[in-house]
Amino acid sequence: MPKLSRRKIAEYVANTTKDGVVPTGVIAELAAYLADSHRTRELPLVVRTIEDVLAERGQVVARVTTARGLDDSIKQSIRAQINAKEVYFAEAVDPSVIGGVRVETPGKTLDATIIRKLNSIRSAKAS
């Protein structure tokens, strides 16, 4: 089996994506290919590359982390900030962030969580 580059794999998966959803069959194919070619460790990188390819096509996957979940008004604000043709949300709820939001998009990260601010205060300690 020829070894495909991550970029090619990502473009293949991105081509099959509709409305930000990857068909289940494509996911199975990807999993089988990575397992067969002993490249399962590359999965996080492959996912990132897929997100990069989608972002180039105006389809941005935003990983949003909050302490209590997202409501629609926040999503709208995030969409406005990202300014892309389509924005897909990968939401995560993490109480340890205390409050605020962390938005990660391909190439950009906005960390406005309270825990980040507290940590930046802590890191400003006199040495």
Partner 1 sequence: MHTILTNFATAEATGHAAEEASGNVLDSLGIDPKLFVFQLIAFLLLLWLLNKYVFPVLMKAVDERQKTIDESLQAAHDAEKQAAEAEAKIEAMLKKARGEAADIVTTAKDEAGALVTKAEERSKAQAQRIVDDAQSTIAKEVIAARKALHNETIELVAQATEKVVGKTLDGKIDNKLIEASLNHSGDKA
Contact 26, 32 (CB under 8 A): no
Contact 87, 74 (CB under 8 A): no
Report residue 3 as tokens: 């070894």
**Interface with partner 1, residue 26, by CB under 8 A:** no
Cβ nearer to partner 1, comparing 24 with 96: 96
Sheet of 86-93, strand order? 86-93, 59-66, 101-105, 108-111
Among 43, 77, 91, 93, binds partner 1 (CB under 8 A): 77
Q: Which amino acid, 62?
A: A
CB of 74 to partner 1, least distance (A): 5
Could you tell me which stretch among 10-18, 31-39, 51-59, 78-86 binds partner 1 (CB under 8 A)? 78-86
Among 22, 26, 74, 84, binds partner 1 (CB under 8 A): 74
Pairwise CA distance, residues 13 & 23, whole Å: 9
One character per residue 84-123, x = contact with partner 1 (rule: CB under 8 A): -----------x--xxxx--------x-x-xx--x--xx-
Pairwise CA distance, residues 118 & 67, whole Å: 15
Pairwise CA distance, residues 54 & 10, whole Å: 9
Taking CB under 8 A as the criterion, which residues in 32-71 touch partner 1? 66-68, 71
Interface with partner 1 (CB under 8 A): 66-68, 71, 73-74, 77-78, 80-81, 95, 98-101, 110, 112, 114-115, 118, 121-122, 124-127
